[in-house]
Chains A and B, each alone.
Chain A
């Protein structure tokens, strides 16, 4: 009965490879997010989708491409991986509606990406 799940939990890969991280939520939420947590624990939003539509797109290299096949899934594809992409990536979801800011976001367990 996991609310927000991510796969894989750990991902070790070499520079230049392409990889994907998958996220699924079974909470019936309309909005999903990707966050990056760096080695100093700093968390920053990358993308947000509402009903499969991109609504937040921070200054992220275009090697990162989110894909939302339906509102329960938000996958993150990363091309040409670089050392600096090593981080923990968190998926989250919320029951957001436009103009409402009181809905908390539910986070997945994270995916630790290590680029060597």
Chain B
């Protein structure tokens, strides 16, 4: 089965500085990868997805992620953090080949991003 590991449980940055949230994946085939964001007491919102097209994926709110097969990584970045970016971020992989052909999502443990003024 597939899995993802989010390397940091907490990340703290100052407003206006770059954001880097790290994610490594384990997959025996070319995976589909996603980043979701969860703001406090809210549901999950898709930030971006990679599905074997361009390796650099642009998402909403200025976030992007780069798929690096050689490093089995899918790190999330943003050039300049905003206070509203403070949330929980989940790296997610599709478990398609092992779930009967249906799209079962496997979530990482999450990274809590704090943004300070």
Contacts and interface: CB of A to CB of B under 8 A. Distances in A.
A66 interface: no
Interface string A72-116: 000000000000000000101010101111111111111000000
A26 B109 CA distance: 29
20 contacts: A4-B43, A41-B38, A41-B109, A41-B110, A43-B90, A45-B105, A55-B100, A56-B104, A99-B96, A101-B51, A101-B94, A102-B32, A102-B51, A104-B34, A105-B46, A107-B43, A107-B44, A107-B45, A109-B43, A110-B42
Contacts of A110: 42-43
A104 B102 CA distance: 12
A90 B38 CA distance: 12
A42 B32 contact: no
Contact of A42 (B96, B105, B109): B109
B96 A101 contact: yes
Q: How large is the interface on B (under 10, 10 to 19, 20 to 34, 35 or more residues)?
A: 20 to 34
Nearest to B90: A43
Contacts of B32: 101-102
A54 to B, nearest CB: 11
B19 to A, nearest CB: 19
B64 interface: no
A50 interface: yes
A60 to B, nearest CB: 14
Given A101-B32, A101-B96, A42 B110 contact: yes
Interface in B32-89: 32, 34, 36, 38, 42-46, 49, 51, 88
A108 B44 CA distance: 8
B101 interface: yes
